[in-house]
Amino acid sequence: MRGMSLSPDDPLLLRIVDDLAERGWSQQNLFLTPDLTRELALECRTRAVQGELAPAAVGRGATQEVREGIRGDHIQWIEPGQAASCDRYLELMDSLRQALNRGLFLGLEEFECHFALYPPGAFYRKHVDRFRDDDKRMVSAVIYLNDAWQPEHGGQLRMFPKNAPEFDVPPLGGCLVVFMSGDMPHEVLPACHERLSLTGWFRRRGNEPFEL
């Protein structure tokens, strides 16, 4: 059952590693069990009802600001120990981190992620996930939590690979999309229904100046 830690040699994780090595992205439509997908969706909606999700900002540090013309999702970062379903997902992601380090030698040290709720009509303009002045984010990972999503609902993740045509990924519940953070421009298209996901990044230590 996927929803707990896996061996770094698990065939599912090795497929993701191979995909990243060959083309820079991977899509696994059945990464999570239906039960864990539903539990995470319930956790996201519960937090939203309790007012814990806040409008997402763009930029970082002192330049952060909410700009709904660029992105319209509401987010909350998750931490270990907050909810059993989140802890199970974090365990899975740590297994993937180990597999990525073993197969691609990326030096990934941690994984950070947040719930993202897109109200109907919300979107996120084309962007890349790595900041210009911060190279710690190496690999992006998005898991979708939407039940019975239909093509006419919209909300696709549109990807823009460097040497291939653009393509769309529907936000189907249990589907995981992984890609290199600095190399894959992407956008979220508007949906006519509430759209739920967990969006995260595997991070390395980064190239920071040493203080003498």
Which numeric CATH code is attached to 25-57+66-80+110-198?
2.60.120.620
**Confidence bin at 1 (pLDDT 50/70/90):** very low
What is the structure's pLDDT at 212? 34
| 3-class DSSP assignment, residue 158 | strand
Report the pLDDT averaged over residues 101-127. Answer: 95
**Confidence bin at 8 (pLDDT 50/70/90):** confident
Count of Cβ atoms closer than 10 Å to residue 211 Cβ = 4
How far is the C-alpha of 205 from the C-alpha of 203, rounded, in Å?
7
Residue with tokens 């999702």, as numbered in its chain: 73
Count of Cβ atoms closer than 10 Å to residue 142 Cβ = 23
Exposure of 103 in the CB half-sphere (CA atoms within 13 A): 20
pLDDT tens-digit readout, 146-203: 999 999 999 999 999 998 999 999 999 999 999 999 899 999 999 999 999 999 999 9
**Given a cut of 70, is residue 2 above it in pLDDT?**
no
**Given a cut of 60, is residue 208 above it in pLDDT?**
no
> Per this entry, what is the length of the chain?
212
What is the structure's pLDDT at 67? 55
Q: Which residues pair with 27 in a beta bridge?
A: 177
What is the structure's pLDDT at 132? 67
pLDDT tens-digit readout, 99-113: 999 999 999 999 999
Count of Cβ atoms closer than 10 Å to residue 144 Cβ = 28
What is the structure's pLDDT at 206? 64
pLDDT tens-digit readout, 52-81: 999 986 655 555 555 556 888 999 999 999
* Main-chain dihedrals φ then ψ at residue 163, nearest 5 degrees: -120, 30
Question: How high does pLDDT run on average in the chain?
Answer: 89
**Confidence bin at 6 (pLDDT 50/70/90):** confident
What is the structure's pLDDT at 130? 78
**Given a cut of 60, is residue 3 above it in pLDDT?**
no
What is the structure's pLDDT at 39? 97
pLDDT tens-digit readout, 18-57: 999 999 999 999 999 999 999 999 999 999 999 999 998 6
